[in-house]
Structure 1
Amino acid sequence: MLSALREFAYLTAPSAPTYRALMRLFYEAHLKQQHTLPPDEVLAGIEDSDLDLTPEALLLDLDALVAWGNLGRRRDTRRVGSLAEYARKRDLYYATARGLAIEGFLDAGLDAAEETVAVGAGIVSGMERQWAHLAELLSAPELHPDELEASWANLVRDFVALSGDVRLLALNLERKLSLEALDDFLEFKDAVRSYVERLAAELAGPGRRLRAGLQELSPDLRSRLLNTVAGVRAGRLTRGAGVLDAEGAERITVREWDGLLGWFSRRAEQGDGLEYGVVALRGAVSRVLAFVDAVHRTRELGLGRAGVLAELAAHLVDLPDASTAREELAHALGLSAPLHAPGVPPAQVVYDAWATPTESVLLSAVQKGKVAERFSADVGEVSREAKRAARDALQAERRRQRLLLELFEDGQLDLDGLILPDAAMLPEVLAWLSAGLHAAHDPENGAEGGAGLTPGPQGHQVRVSLTSSPALLRVPDGTLWIERGAALELLGQSEGVR
């Protein structure tokens, strides 16, 4: 276990690009069911690459991969026509199992394989029948070793698939139940639930009966089973063309038995066993049902909102004019509700936000603390860039105030038909209108004749008088329609302004 894994040496060797190209060639040939390659075919296979290899250098590289265990080599027994051809083709090379596994891992982009669940319904019941057949073979007066080994191999094969897929199924359902793929999940939700329910029922029924049979097997019959299976396997050829000796066969068989008995006998809190599978899969069924219920409730909520909007659209189409439709839409969507008017009873809230009086708030000055004591000399130093930025901002504000002041011709301004030269001036004009309208409905504001006063440009005051007709404001990038226009009058500077 502590020995170095030489098969990975070709990935970091000085000639790693050459070795990787050769191993990828053998890997792709293996995928095409061509398992052995002579040196001349290897050389022809890398002609399109940037590698410049001579036949002699190629043989040295192939021998290095053989020494590391990535490639194998065997004698070429084909008939050749000349001594030179024999010298070139005397060996055939093939990728070993470890070499193919490394290249397959690299070919997958260093990503783990997709975890899928492949066990079919009835697999646990089938394992129970296989164990019953094994028990009959063990108890029979005449033992049939080959049949016993084949039945045991089938049982172990199904067990490996079952134990792995129970774990993956619990993990995948925990991870993949999200609201990101609603349509895909809802299409097969019934199949997922029924499959998980059947598998959980099989684990709880035939699975526990099989566990009882494994635990009740006498030590003599268990030894007879393991020794017979190991004896049949001893001397067989392995996938790597090696012969399995008696010690190796016994070790593999005992490991299979320990894994089988341990998985079925393990407690639920220990995880990754029969009882854990029963608990995890039953919990997964509950999560599937809860997920489906949440999906349906979310869908119903969305469809309900869509239905309300559809009904609203049909109602707006039937209204006599656009002004009424705008009022109905604003009322339905809550656009006209004065959300900024605390203390107003709901019965007194009207649809027009401008006509709703606001609550006066008295703001008191905050006493300044001893700021100088916390003021450091480093902070007090202002850079030239900061001074320049402050000066530029002051000049820009003065230009903006001057442009706003120029809007008033002879101190008068009518919003209807007003053309603003800059879109940045629109918020200021709307702020005058909003503040003036609120002030007009404030009894403590001191306004006269239904007009409100609001601060204007360069310290002036603006008197806002509502009109009964709508107004159109034009800016360089569009037109703004206002349901009620207003006439603005520029007054003198307010007190305190110099």
Structure 2
Amino acid sequence: MQRNQARELWVKPVPELKYLNADNVSRYRLIMRYFYENHSKLRYWLKPEEVFSGVMHYGLLDDYTEDQCQRDLEVLTEWKNLTSRHDGGRAQSIEEYLRKRFRYQMTPYAIEIERMLQTLEQLQGYGGSLEPALLERIAGYIAQIRQAEGQFAAGAAHQLWRDLQSAFRQLHESASDYLASLQTARVEELMLTDQFLIFKDTLTQYLRDFVRGLQQYGVHVEAMFRQTPQTVWQSFLMALVEDEKRLPMFDNPLADDERMALHQEEWQVLEQWFVGSATEASDVLYLERQTKDTIARVVRYALAIQERHQVGVSRRRELESLGLRFLELDNPEEAHKLGAYAFGLYQTRHFQGEGDASSDAADFSMWDEKPIVRRLRSRSRGQRKSGGTESIRSTRVQRQEAAKAILEAKKREATLVKTWIDMKHLRMSELPTLSPEQRILLLQWIGRCMVNQSKLARTPDGLEIRLILPENGERTRLQFTDGALEVPDFELFVEEVASS
């Protein structure tokens, strides 16, 4: 009931925000800021003369009077930014008492509004950070809940929940803000400058450390969620509700079923962030992908800057100096040595064939051999063909041999598939020595299943393959005719289904 009432507020106006855009916004803002500063100092109830003195102390208003301040306080009270109470204790006479002197205090809405405004004033860019330590803390909190199995001391579940929510919120918001800051136009301009090369390596290492944290702790948390019965998490939420019932709440306390429903929704959000759902991947994978894309973008910008520096660089002086050195040499032997130092070895793919040696002497140099003359054709796309005709080369024999090899491979694969269909259930640790062809097919099936959230895949041949992960992460060693491979002890269920 109370949650439904809260939802009704979503479509109603908020009078507490009127003072931010009213005609006398400067006066209202200063009054509310003065109240907020005193609220931070634990001074809650203020008299009108104190408010007037504090506002004038800012030195931002001219021709402001106490009567105007009194009217502004009444307007803010009408807008529910302030609440008032009669201050008759210090009246010196009946007339003063009848004037209804008031003291004023901020409402909870006004406190949050001023807190938000103060945060916005200090905001510069997106901020945020990437902290793998938060992932480690979240994994530790989840492990504590799992190990407790519903047995919590008084107040322990509430404290653990606050720590978990704080770390999760900080991780989500800080990572989102930091990656968003790298997408701004200002950062894009910075990445195009030469100064970006100075901290490129530091930024890349920072992002890679966060990716490693996601891969290490994200998978660990996902495994705990998948392997732990829901009754363990339900017991923790029940202990949390009991702890919250012990807290003295005066403002609209929630019923037990409403508290439980609220925490179940919050827990579901936390679980989906690490595990995902049947239709969507987890936010951990999305965050990892976005971070990797940022790393790739940083590297691309750095390479573009380096290439820009290299474009247009003239090597005329270097080549002139090298040419003068060649001219100063007296014999070909020295020229060959200098050429070897300057240019290194030639790429052998540019040479073709072997010539007939004119001498078998061991000390006969290759430079004394006669050149091998080869006719080179132009590689230009605009080269015109000669007017002569050329015969058409037949590749029928090669195509027949290739088709025969493919059909034979398909036949061997079909025989293997039929054998595994008859077995229906394959466990890695129970398989005999396999051939390389069997290894390729088996890894293809495992790869198809691993990329799906349901660990279920269908092949073009009409096979349905279901992969079962080992419960405790057991591993086994597959033996092949050409080596061995260590893999998790998967189970595969192979079934032939009718094609749709």
Distance 1:107 1:173, change over 3 A: closer
Letter in 2 for 1:157: S
The answer as to 2:105 corresponding to 1:118 is no
| Alignment of 1:164 onto 2:173 | yes
Partner residue, 1:66: 77
8 Å contact kept, 2:35–2:106: yes
Residues 311/69 of structure 1: CA separation in 2 closer, same or farther (3 Å cut): farther
Change (3 A) 1:86 1:159: farther
Matched, 1:7 2:16: yes
Measure how far apart 1:259 and its partner are: 1.9
199-208 vs 9-18, which moves further: 9-18
Q: Counterpart in 2 of 1:287?
A: 297
Match of residue 155 from structure 1 = 164
> Could you report, residue by residue, the CA deviation over 1:147-181 in whole angstroms, capped at 9, with x for unpaired residues?
12212211111111112233333333344244566
Q: Find the counterpart in structure 2 of residue 232 from structure 1.
A: 243
Higher relative contact order (CA 8 A, sep 6+): 2
Conserved? CA contact 1:267–1:273, under 8 Å: no
Task: Name the structure 1 match of 2:209.
Answer: 198
Are residues 58 and 164 of structure 1, via their aligned partners in 2, closer, same or farther at CA, if it must alter by over 3 Å?
Answer: same
Q: State the distance in 2 between where 1:182 and 1:106 align.
A: 34
Shift in alpha-carbon separation, 1:118–1:12, aligned structure 2, 3 A: closer
Residues 236 and 243 of structure 1 are in contact (CA less than 8 Å); yes or no, is this contact kept in structure 2? no
Structure 1 Cα separation of the partners of residues 305 and 139 of structure 2: 38
Where in structure 2 are the equivalents of 1:83-482 lying within 5 Å?
A: 91-94=103-106, 96-98=108-110, 100-101=112-113, 104-105=116-117, 108=120, 114-140=125-151, 143-175=152-184, 176-179=187-190, 182=193, 184-234=195-245, 236=247, 242=251, 244-246=253-255, 249-250=259-260, 252-266=262-276, 270=280, 273-301=283-311, 304=313
1:46 aligns with 2:55: yes
Question: How far did 1:199 drift?
Answer: 1.4
Structure 1 residues 19 and 168, CA gap change in structure 2 (3 angstroms): closer
Contact 2:19-2:25 at 8 Å conserved across structures: yes
Give the direction of change, closer, same or farther, for the CA distance of 1:87–1:288 in structure 2 (3 Å limit).
same
Counterpart Cα distance in 2 of 1:71 and 1:272: 45
Between the aligned partners of 1:169 and 1:272, the Cα distance in structure 2 is: 19
Aligned residues: 303
Distance apart, 1:234 and its partner CA: 3.7
What is the one-letter code of the residue matched to 1:159?
F
The change in CA–CA distance for 1:226 and 1:103 in structure 2 (over 3 A counts) is: closer
In 2: Cα distance, 1:8 partner to 1:233 partner: 31
Contact 2:36/2:114 (<8 A) preserved: no
SS in structure 2 at match of 1:284:
helix
Instruction: Give, in whole Å, the separation in 1 of the partners of 2:247 and 2:86.
Output: 22
Would you say the 8 A contact 1:38–1:91 is kept in 2?
A: yes
- Please identify the structure whose Cα radius of gyration is greater: 1
CA distance in 2, matches of 1:213, 1:75: 58
Deviation at 1:37, TM superposition (A): 3.2
Alignment check: 8 A CA contact 2:84 2:102 kept: no
Percent of aligned positions with the same letter in both sequences? 19
Amino acid aligned to 1:42: V
Change (3 A) 1:185 1:15: same
Rounded to whole Å, the distance in 2 between the matches of 1:65 and 1:86 is: 22
- Aligned equivalent of 2:414: none
Give SS of 1:19's match.
Answer: helix
TM-score w.r.t. structure 2 length? 0.50
- For residues 12 and 129 of structure 1, the distance between their equivalents in structure 2, rounded to whole angstroms, comes to 47
8 Å contact from structure 1 (residues 119, 161) kept in 2: no
Identify which of 20, 25, 34 aligns with 2:29. Answer: 20
TM-score normalised over the length of structure 1: 0.51
Structure 1's 283 and 180: CA in aligned 2 closer, same or farther, altered over 3 A?
Answer: closer
C-alpha displacement at 1:268, in angstroms? 11
Matching residue of 1:367: none
Distance between the aligned counterparts of 2:206 and 2:278, measured in 1? 21
- Which string of whole-angstrom CA distances, capped at 9 and with x for unpartnered residues, describes residues 383-403 of structure 1? xxxxxxxxxxxxxxxxxxxxx
Shift of the alpha carbon at 1:4? 1.4
1:412 maps to none
CA distance in structure 2 between the aligned counterparts of 1:17 and 1:192, rounded to whole angstroms? 43
CA distance in 1, matches of 2:54, 2:159: 42
Whole-angstrom distance in 2 between the partners of 1:244 and 1:130: 27
Q: How far did 1:5 drift?
A: 1.0
Relative to structure 1, is the Cα distance of residues 234 and 9 closer, same or farther in structure 2, using a 3 angstrom cutoff? farther
Aligned amino acid, residue 287 of structure 2: G
Name the CA shift for 1:277/1:81 in 2 (closer, same or farther; >3 Å): same
Q: CA 1:139 to 1:16, structure 2 compared with 1: closer, same or farther past 3 Å?
A: closer
Residues 1:5 and 1:40: Cα distance change in structure 2 (over 3 Å) = same
